Amino acid sequence: EVQLVESGGGLVQPGGSLRLSCVASGFTFRSYEMNWVRQAPGKGLEWVSYISSSGSLIYYADSVKGRFTISRDNAKSSLYLQMNSLGAEDTAVYYCGAGSGNDYWGQGTLVTVSS
Amino acid sequence: SYELTQPSSVSVSPGQTARITCSGDILAKKYGRWFQQKPGQAPVVVIYRDSERPSGIPERFSGSSSRTTVTLTISGAQVEDEADYYCFSAADNNRVFGGGTRLTVL
């Protein structure tokens, strides 16, 4: 059974940092492209970042470029998102998605940026 | 960057056909896919490569494409199909979701 489990969310003050993790199981993680997608409360889905299966190709949405860093550890079947300089606009549920088109999703982790 | 445009809401009665459109220049050269999201749940793919249906998705879900528009059709919509639907596409260094369509079946 395919499983993606995100963690690392929580309450953080504006300007702060968080590191999200996503642990995968039930499929060959190293063969899959991965994405982070977020959803602000009551809003739609927003693509955040992409990383190729090897980690050699990385893309970011303009809204997070320069502040967020995506990475992966294929030996640990894990995906990460380092988030710096967080603002209220970054408050959202963050999902990891497996596959170029997000074939599989985790249940998400909530990030709340507030003082 | 690319944009995908969907209607904000669609409403049908049970058993009727629901159609949700998604338009954007990216769709002229790349496939579109559709996600269904119910409250409190993660999205689920219901259509990929414009018209392919994953295993486990009911046959009443179908997709089509024409130039810069993809369409999700739910033939004989059921109450359990009530959800938010998002189109998605990817090209080069861009990945983009449509704004989402709230489907009401009542």
**pLDDT beyond 90 at B81:** yes
pLDDT of B49 reads 96
Give A62's contacts in chain B (Cβ within 8 Å).
1
Is residue B81 classed exposed, middle or buried when 0-12, 13-18 and 19+ CB atoms within 10 A define those classes? Answer: buried
User: Are A58 and A80 in contact, with CB atoms under 8 Å apart?
Assistant: no
Q: Does B88 touch chain A (CB under 8 A)?
A: yes
Q: Could you tell me if B19 lies within 8 Å of chain A, comparing CB atoms?
A: no
C-alpha B82/C-alpha B73 separation (Å) is 13
Whole-number pLDDT of residue A100: 85
DSSP state of A27: S
Q: Which residues of chain A have pLDDT under 70?
A: none
Residue reference for tokens 């909530």: A110
Measure A58 CA to nearest chain B CA, in Å.
8
pLDDT digits (tens, 9 = 90+) for B18-59: 999 999 999 999 999 999 999 999 999 999 999 999 999 999
- Name every residue whose Cβ is closer than 8 Å to that of residue B41 and which is 6 or more positions away in sequence: none
Q: In this complex, is the C-beta atom of B2 within 8 Å of any C-beta atom belonging to chain A?
A: no
Query: Strand ranges (DSSP E) for A1-115?
Result: 3-7, 10-12, 18-25, 34-39, 45-51, 58-60, 68-73, 78-83, 92-98, 104-105, 109-113
**Residue B34 in contact with partner chain A when CB distance is under 8 A:** no
- In chain B, the percentage of residues whose pLDDT exceeds 90 is 94
- Select from A94, A108, A102 the least CA-distant residue to A35: A102
pLDDT, mean over chain B: 96
